[in-house]
Amino acid sequence: MGDVSDAPGRPYVVRVAAIASLTPLEELDAEPFLVDSRGQHAMCARWAAERGYVVTRELLVRALRPDHTVLWSDVEAGMVDVFVAPSRRVLERALASVEQFSAECARRGVRLETVGSAEPAYDARMKARVHRRLSMPTAGYDGR
C-alpha cells in the first residue's frame, strides 16, 4: 500500500521517479511509444496512482549512465523510493546499462519496477498528435 508509517502518527507516502526515454521525433513511425514521452510518463503515473504512490520526479533521458547524478540526487535527498518505467524496452533506451542501474538500485535499497502493461497501438491520428506536440513546443501547443 502507498501509506506506510515512518514515525508514529505520521504517514509515509511512497515517492516514485518515472523514467521515460528521450527518443528523437524522426523515429516516430517506427517507435511511436518510445517517442511519446508524455504517454510513457502517463503510464507510470497510472501505475503509481493504482498503488497509492506519488510521482515526485519525471525523468526524460537517453542512454544515461547508471551513476549519473540526475538519477540519484532525489534519492539522496529522500524524495524518491522507487524508480518505474513503462517497460524493459523503455529502460534499455533510457539507460546506458539496465543491468548496472539495477545493481545500483539494489545497492542503494531503491526498488526498480516496470509497469508491465502493453504499449498502446498508435494509429495515424495518435502519431500526428505526438508529432504536433513535439514539433511545436514553443508555439503554445499543449498536445491536445
10 assigned to some structural domain? yes
Q: How many domains does the chain have?
A: 1
Q: What is the pLDDT of residues 21-65, one digit of tens each?
A: 999 999 999 999 999 999 999 999 999 999 999 999 999 999 999
At 106, is the secondary structure helix, strand, or coil? helix
CA angle 24, 30, 36 (to 5 degrees): 50
38 assigned to some structural domain? yes
Cβ neighbors of 49 (< 8 A, separation 6 or more) are none
- This prediction has a pTM of 0.86
State mean pLDDT over 80-100. 97
Q: What is the pLDDT of residues 120-135, one digit of tens each?
A: 999 999 999 999 888 8
137 assigned to some structural domain? no
Cell 493504482 identifies what position?
50
Q: How many Å apart are CA 65 and CA 143, to the nearest integer?
A: 30
126 assigned to some structural domain? no
138 assigned to some structural domain? no
| Domain CATH code at residue 40 | 3.40.50.1390
Average pLDDT, the chain: 90
122 assigned to some structural domain? no
75 assigned to some structural domain? yes
Domain range for 31 is 3-117
Cβ neighbors of 92 (< 8 A, separation 6 or more) are 98
130 assigned to some structural domain? no
